Chains A and B, each alone.
Chain A
């Protein structure tokens, strides 16, 4: 666990770099989190996925897997990997300030 200042707010991140308390998240923080993942700038397409991840998490208690993202977000699997080369569900969850999605597929 590490403490960091993101967009002027002190937050705790777990060992993998996910926000410990998702309620602390702000859009300004997302830009800093994306920068840490090597994504700069956050384009409209990135935001579409990040917002989708966050709204799914708030509605269901967990973020979707890549397969579910590909089926339901309106962004194809190919595009998802172009936007987030280091793993779409994992990276977008991190930027959206939510826990890492679980599941094997």
Chain B
């Protein structure tokens, strides 16, 4: 048998519903397997950990071929909200937690949570704009130091 994975560092870089969930599921799943995990949020991925934004993350209805919806239709007002609402209903039936609940739960599992310094500077944010579960705002160098000895997954 190959050596088991003992540590993962997962980067979430996108701010859509479908961009945020996979990284969260992988981090939560890693902790459930006893694997050490860190989450690093960069660019629009930071939406998931911003107090004002994390409850308003939407499915992308434009330029998303997997949705099988013409982009001109997806661009109509309210389409993204509608697609998000439908997706959230399905998730609720499957007992998949909302993003705020999921982020809090993953933090409780002992997973580290960090925001990207460059993105924080770019969007003129402060530590206080982030939910309390975010431990620190770190540079890419700090990230590699924290990720040392484990796998890095970019989403």
A90 pairs with B34, CB closer than 8 A: yes
- How many residues on A have C-beta within 8 angstroms of the other chain's C-beta atoms? 19
Partner of B25, one of A15, A77, A105: A105
Nearest chain-A residue to B105 (Cβ)? A77
- How many residues on B have C-beta within 8 angstroms of the other chain's C-beta atoms? 15
Report A-chain residues with C-beta under 8 Å of the C-beta of B25: 104-105
Dominant SS among interface residues on chain A: helix
Interface positions of A from 51 to 98, Cβ below 8 Å from B: 65-68, 70, 76-78, 81, 85-91
Interface positions of B from 22 to 38, Cβ below 8 Å from A: 25, 28-29, 31-34
Report A-chain residues with C-beta under 8 Å of the C-beta of B33: 87, 90
Report B-chain residues with C-beta under 8 Å of the C-beta of A91: 34
A104 in contact with B29 given A77-B105, A77-B109 (CB within 8 Å): yes
Report A-chain residues with C-beta under 8 Å of the C-beta of B32: 65-66, 87-90
Nearest first, the 8 A-B pairs at minimum CB distance are A86-B34, A87-B34, A77-B108, A78-B108, A87-B32, A66-B32, A81-B110, A87-B33
Taking Cβ atoms with an 8 Å cutoff, the residues of A that contact B are 15, 65-68, 70, 76-78, 81, 85-91, 104-105
